[in-house]
Structure 1
């Protein structure tokens, strides 16, 4: 499996983002904020990986564990593709947006669940 884009997404940028904003807004008004959230999750995962290497994943807060799980979904299920597969050669934009929305929605719901559990009895969810 290959990651797409095949560049480092932390330092990568597009000169077309502003030019495409009107298209994104018409297609899905939430797309830009969801894309921003996905980038934030990947950046936070990169920060957390140093901590995980030092003290282990169990030492992380529940919300940080959710970040790691969400980032894993983004990296392995969203940003990875297999060019040799007949169904994974390309992905239409509507499907890409839908997939990203679902991954970020998972993140939101998981965080809400952890917050409710912590407020009620402090039970760990992960």
Structure 2
């Protein structure tokens, strides 16, 4: 059976998953911190993550302390690396998408993906959803 994804699409999917996994670990550290410190908003609700805290001064303190925990765990460097891998994978997706686009469309898109983040993400999304088995390489 022929694969519907090519290597470029698979690498992009893996890079997105890696970023999500590291971000999830960081969020878990925030949740644990909030729970351990008994942090509550003025209305009594428990913030899901630090950015949901309503008290600015308490947020600054919690953010500083959580950031130190995240850095100590090596997650900041891990996230930066994962994001760099994702950025490279996105570039490959755009390059691939533009390579299979008709010439007239390609010229317009080449300019648009450099100037417009929304267009960039739309091209990446379209290339990701493309059934690669229908395209000759």
Larger Rg: 2
Greater RCO (Cα-Cα under 8 Å, separation 6 or more): 2
Specify which structure has the higher proportion of helix. Answer: 2
